[in-house]
Each structure stands twice: as C-alpha cells, then as structure tokens.
A and B are shown apart, each in its own frame.
Chain A
Amino acid sequence: MHDVNKSTGPVSTGPDVASGRGRALPISVKSLTKTYGAFNALNNVSIDIRSGEFMTLLGPSGSGKTTLLMVLAGFVRPDSGSVLFGDDEVLLLPPHKRDIGMVFQNYALFPHMTVAENLAYPLKLRSIGKSERQDRVNRALDLVQLGGLGDRGIDALSGGQRQRVALARAVIFEPRILLMDEPLSALDKNLREQMQFEVRALHDRLGITTVYVTHDQREALTMSDRIAVINDGQIQQVDPPQRLYERPKTFFVASFIGETYRLPVDVTNGTASLFGQPIKTGGPLESTALQQALILRPEMLQIADGGPGPDENQMTGTLRQTVFQGDSIVSYISIHGDHEIAVRSQHRSNQTLPVPGSQVRLSWLIQDTVILPEDDQT
C-alpha cells in the first residue's frame, strides 16, 4: 500500500523537482479486460512499460487507449487483470492513493485558485509546510517557464500557459509516474509542435515514467521512446517509432502510421511474387498464407532509369499524373491495370518530369520490403 503522505519510491531524492531521477517506476499491465455492454474497450491487454520510459498509446478514437490510461489512473475499474507499479499491485487502490501525476485533456485547472494555489494544492494535501511549498511552487513555475505568473488567475492564462501549469501541477509532488491524456490537442499547430519538444525535454529532465495518449501519429513518432498502437481494445504492436514505421506487424499499424499502399502478392514455397514476378525479401516471410500483401510507402519508391540493382526490387507501371508540391513531387502510377500507388520524390530544379501515359520502372530496397498476410480487416 502506498500512502500519499510518504515518499515510497525506491530512492528518495528529497524535495527537488528537477532531480527526480531514480524515483521512476516501471508499469506492468497484465490481461486487462474492460467491457461496456457488448463493447470491448480493453480486450486482454498486456504491456510492460520500462522505468523512465516515454511510452505513447496511439490509436483512433474508441480504440481503448484512453480507457487504458484511466485504468492506470484509477478512474476506470476494469473487469479483470492486473496493474503493477514497480512490484505493487495498484488495481484496488483508489485514485487518490496512487501517487501519480496526470495531465488532463482539458487541463482541469481549479478555476477558483490562482496558478500558485493550483500548484500548491497537491503539496498541501501532503502536509508540506508553507515555506517549502512556496519554494517548490516557484521552482516548478521556473521549470515550465512561467516564473512570476503565480498570482494570475486561471482565466487570465493563454492555452499554452494553462498547458504548462497543468504540466507543473502534475509533477510538483514528484510522482513516480506521469500520465498524459491528449494534452496538446487543444493547442494550435505551432504551439503544439513547440510543446511536444518541451514535454519531452521535461520528461528527460525528470526521468519520470511517462504514459502519453494521442491519436496523432506524428506527435507519437516525435516524442516517444516506444509506441503502443491500439485498435479495437487490443495492442497491435509495441516498438520504437522507427521500427514501427519501417516494420509494421499488422495492416492496421501500416495504414495508421504514415501513407501506405497495398499490392496483392501470391506466396508459394516461401517466395512472394507480384503479378507473376518474384520479390526478394530481407528475411523469411512471417506467414505461409498464400494470399498476402506488399506494403509500399510513397517515399520508399523511386522512379528508376535502368534495371534493378542487386539490393532492389522493381516493378513497372503507367504514369497517370504528377503533382508538384513544392518540396516534393508526387507521381500517381497504376500497376497492372487498376492498382494505383503514389511515389514521392524530392524536388530538384531543372528536373524533367516523365510524361503522363508513359511506362515507368519503380524500384525499392529489399530491406524496405514488407509483406503481411491478408486479414479480414481492410
């Protein structure tokens, strides 16, 4: 059992917000299930989050990512399963005894308190003396670059400032775990991108285990150590951003992250062929299914001048249209009749574009070749 009034982390580093390293705890989720009527919000979800890791739960709305976060925070009671913070089972602990920081989607700042009072609230609840409270509030304000704004009312703050206050309030009592529920979704694009870096910088500085929920794949790729892609209450894949992008394990992951096109391939004796033409792969195929699909991304393809190199695959198609987009040129190419794919190439000046209707060769690296078995999802 954790008492909020005591610091029970394995290493207590004293009251310095900025040196919370070592207090982080790993999270271990096992076989979580939560149903609402006939709807499976969480379907046997297991995931291990390392100590000090920045883990993003990525998925479309209704995928169960927020439900999972709310189970961690203690606001949703699952039907079954287990949640460990470190070695302690916390599933039966009420939210106010879990001692974890959380940034809510709408910030949830107390409107009847000033910025400083909002920050001091969790410290008051932990019976921390007035002078130390003041000290820590000031340091937390500096941490999120809001020094001197302590006396402001919440109404007098901009969206970005509220975001920072919410962040400061979530970490001021040195929680061992930080949860964030789409915290940047209310900000405009420029501010959002700036805050992504600030949130990540704060995480690195505090070394706190962070679970971040978003539906924005770019945000997830930018900020995370690892990303857990969730769909239909199930975890599809947990991997670092680059691996997730380059080696998606399911169609859902491939299509949810980045732009993808699929071409049907036939598999015989472990060899894939695209419209009768064999394709080389980096390793053995994951599945022996006869009908599989080749996953292609526009920027992995190149319009080739000659035949395939030793480390390349190649196919031919008919150029339908080219679109100039400034930094890049997108060519839409039909393969074998009715399969259309796009190729993105970098813009170079004085470049002559192929004429629509002409035959083009497309090549891509063997190591970029991803072939996944067809499933019932489309």
Chain B
Amino acid sequence: MTATEHTEPLNKQALKRQARTQQRNELSLSLPAFILVGSLVLVPIGWLFWLSIYGADGFTAENYIRLLHPSYKKTLITTFELAFLVTGLCILLGYPLAYLASQLKPRMASLVLLCVLFPFWTSLLVRTYAWLVLLQRRGLINTWLMDMGLIDAPLKLAHNFTGTTIGMVHIMLPFFVLPLYASMKTVDLSLLKAAANLGASPVKAFWQIYVPLTLSGLGAGVILVFVLSLGFYVTPALLGGGRVMMWAMQIERSMAVYADWGAASALGVVLLVMTLGILWAFARLTGAMSSVEGK
C-alpha cells in the first residue's frame, strides 16, 4: 500500500506518451497506402470534377446543362436496365453454381472454380469477339439451330440488347461467384442438421437458414457486378452493335464530338455520383434488414 502511495505518479505521463508514440508508429505504417490511394484515386477524381465545372471561360454549368437533353436520359435508362438485368441473371446462374462448388469435395470444387475463373485468363476483347462468333446472324448457334430444323430464320442474338446481356453475364459471373463461394464455405453445415432436427424440411432449411447466412457474400457479389456493369464499355460496344448506348460509350462519344474534357468529365461525375448513391442505398437497405432481423 505505502509503496504505491510513494510512487504516486505511477508513470502516468510516460505511459501515455508511450501509447501516443505507438499509435503514431502504427499510423505511419498505413502512410504509403494513404499516399497511393490519394494520388491515384482522389487527385484524378478531383481533377475530373474540376474540369467539368471550369472551362476556357472560367466557371460554367454548361457541361451539366447539356446532360438534360433527352438522349442522355435514354442512355441512363439503358445503362441501369442492363446493369439490373445482368445482376439479376448473375444471381440466378451464380447462386446455384457457387452452391454446387461449395458442396463438392475439394478436388471437384477446385475444378468447378477453375472453370469459373478460366475466362479471367483470356482477354476481355477476345472473349467478347468469341461471343460475336457464336451469336451473330451466321454464327455457330444460329447455324446449328437451323441445321437441326428448330428455327427457320436466324435469331437476332448479336448487335442488340440480348447479345450485350449474354456477353455481360458471362464476363460478370466470376465477380459474383467468387465472393459468394467464399461466404458459402464459412457456413457451418451442422446448422442445417440442427434445422432438420428441429423439424425443417430441406427446402425450408435452405431458405430460412442457408440463404440468410450467405447474404453477405451475395451482397458483395451483387455490388461488384452492378457497379462494374454500370461503367462497362467494351462488351456493349461490340455486342450491342451500336444499338445499345451505355453511359461509358456516351463519355467516349462526347470526347470525340466535343473534343473537350469538360463534357466527358461531367458525364463521369454523374456516373460516379449515381454509383455512390446506389451503394449508399444498398448499405442502408441491408443495414435496415439486418437490424430488423436483430430484433
């Protein structure tokens, strides 16, 4: 007792200093990352924004006022339509695929995942042209279908919205499957046994236990696919055949037409803001859902 009273300060100040020093050291470790993100992400975005509001004649809203033209509205709708459709199809195709991979024995699972990942090792452009070969008017699919006598006239599969959707789903699927697979691997399968033991049929156990537990991976996949789809360029440009006008293509076109960074920058800023808005809404939605479940 007396001993502690004698050393009353108990090194309080020195310990506090030490804690501060340690905190500074730990922060300094993340400094390179801060600088990298700052110089490669924040600065260009800031510059983009600056270009969109500051032209040759000083500050201007001209670039944004131009976007009120109906043709931009149509592009915006197409972009979102495609992004929603591609995301929806990825869920329908990707969930069973990820589920299959997660249930297989390790060796078979890696084989399935290899098939999912394989397209990643091929150039995006090559894959898109490959789809064109398959889908076009005199392409493989139409030739086969006609040879088998299933159709009389070739289906319009390429150079339109359908072709763009098919190509985009193929390219986006790995982005959806991988995070979902990761979250499925963490689901404790004894929970499904417990559900069965408590009286849940396999179908009920799947919907009431398994699916809710994989929602985080599903959400990650959905966000990835949706956001990537919003800004996609190559596939819609090639498979759309000029009939599918995406926002990213609009950006390219304004560069060509106006030869001015300002117009294109404004388009970029609008896409960025809308993407952030959707991410925010998504976070709010899932947050609200989990807080409802928490009650």
Residues of A participating in the B interface, judged by any CB pair closer than 8 Å: 4, 73-75, 94-102, 104-106, 108-114, 121-122, 125-126, 151, 153, 169, 173
Q: Is residue B113 within 8 Å, beta carbon to beta carbon, of the partner chain?
A: no
In the complex, are the beta carbons of B294 and A111 less than 8 A apart? no
Which one, B199, B201, B209, B293, contacts A122 given CB within 8 A? B199
Residues of B participating in the A interface, judged by any CB pair closer than 8 Å: 188, 190-191, 193-202, 204-205, 208-209, 212-213, 293-295
Question: Please, which residues of chain A bring their CB within 8 A of the CB of B209?
Answer: 110
In the complex, are the beta carbons of B193 and A95 less than 8 A apart? yes
Interface centre among A94, A99, A125 (most CB of B within 10 A): A125
Question: Please, which residues of chain B bring their CB within 8 A of the CB of A106?
Answer: 188, 190
Minimal beta-carbon separation of A98 from chain B (angstroms): 8
User: In the complex the two chains form, what is the Cα distance from A263 to B144 in whole Å?
Assistant: 84
In the complex, are the beta carbons of A111 and B197 less than 8 A apart? no
Interface centre among A94, A104, A114 (most CB of B within 10 A): A104
Closest 8 pairs (CB-CB, A-B): A108-B194, A122-B198, A95-B196, A125-B199, A4-B199, A108-B190, A96-B196, A102-B197
User: In the complex the two chains form, what is the Cα distance from A73 to B48 in whole Å?
Assistant: 64
Minimal beta-carbon separation of A265 from chain B (angstroms): 48
In the complex, are the beta carbons of B197 and A121 less than 8 A apart? no
In the complex, are the beta carbons of B213 and A104 less than 8 A apart? no
User: In the complex the two chains form, what is the Cα distance from A246 to B293 in whole Å?
Assistant: 54
Q: Which residue of chain B has the shortest Cβ distance to A126 in the bound complex?
A: B199
Question: Please, which residues of chain B bring their CB within 8 A of the CB of A101?
Answer: 197
Question: Please, which residues of chain B bring their CB within 8 A of the CB of A126?
Answer: 199
User: In the complex the two chains form, what is the Cα distance from A313 to B257 in whole Å?
Assistant: 112
In the complex, are the beta carbons of B197 and A73 less than 8 A apart? yes
Contacts A111-B213, A125-B204, A153-B294 hold; do A96 and B191 have CB atoms under 8 A apart? no
Question: Please, which residues of chain B bring their CB within 8 A of the CB of A4?
Answer: 199
Contacts A108-B190, A110-B191, A110-B209 hold; do A94 and B196 have CB atoms under 8 A apart? yes
Which one, B188, B199, B200, B201, contacts A108 given CB within 8 A? B188
Interface centre among A74, A110, A114, A151 (most CB of B within 10 A): A110
Q: Can you offer 25 A-B residue contacts whose CB atoms are under 8 A?
A: A4-B199, A73-B193, A94-B196, A95-B197, A96-B196, A96-B198, A96-B202, A97-B199, A102-B197, A104-B194, A105-B190, A106-B188, A108-B188, A108-B191, A109-B194, A110-B195, A110-B209, A111-B191, A121-B198, A121-B208, A125-B199, A151-B295, A153-B294, A173-B198, A173-B199
Which one, A97, A108, A109, A114, contacts B193 given CB within 8 A? A108
5 more A-B contacts (CB under 8 A) besides A95-B197, A122-B198, A125-B204?
A: A98-B197, A108-B188, A110-B191, A112-B293, A125-B199
Minimal beta-carbon separation of A97 from chain B (angstroms): 8
Question: Please, which residues of chain A bring their CB within 8 A of the CB of B293?
Answer: 112-113
Which one, A94, A109, A110, A114, contacts B294 given CB within 8 A? A114
Minimal beta-carbon separation of A95 from chain B (angstroms): 4
Q: Which residue of chain A has the shortest Cβ distance to B201 in the bound complex?
A: A96
Minimal beta-carbon separation of B94 from chain A (angstroms): 21
Question: Please, which residues of chain A bring their CB within 8 A of the CB of B200?
Answer: 96, 121, 125
Minimal beta-carbon separation of A169 from chain B (angstroms): 7
In the complex, are the beta carbons of B199 and A102 less than 8 A apart? no
Q: Which residue of chain B has the shortest Cβ distance to A94 in the bound complex?
A: B196
User: In the complex the two chains form, what is the Cα distance from A121 to B212 in whole Å?
Assistant: 14
User: In the complex the two chains form, what is the Cα distance from A217 to B125 in whole Å?
Assistant: 67
Question: Please, which residues of chain A bring their CB within 8 A of the CB of B191?
Answer: 108, 110-111
Question: Please, which residues of chain A bring their CB within 8 A of the CB of B213?
Answer: 111-112
Question: Please, which residues of chain A bring their CB within 8 A of the CB of B208?
Answer: 121
Question: Please, which residues of chain A bring their CB within 8 A of the CB of B212?
Answer: 112
In the complex, are the beta carbons of A99 and B190 less than 8 A apart? no
Minimal beta-carbon separation of A90 from chain B (angstroms): 13
Q: Which residue of chain B has the shortest Cβ distance to A98 in the bound complex?
A: B197
User: In the complex the two chains form, what is the Cα distance from A101 to B194 in whole Å?
Assistant: 9
Question: Please, which residues of chain B bring their CB within 8 A of the CB of A95?
Answer: 193, 196-197
In the complex, are the beta carbons of B193 and A104 less than 8 A apart? yes
Minimal beta-carbon separation of B196 from chain A (angstroms): 4
User: In the complex the two chains form, what is the Cα distance from A102 to B294 in whole Å?
Assistant: 25
User: In the complex the two chains form, what is the Cα distance from A109 to B196 in whole Å?
Assistant: 13
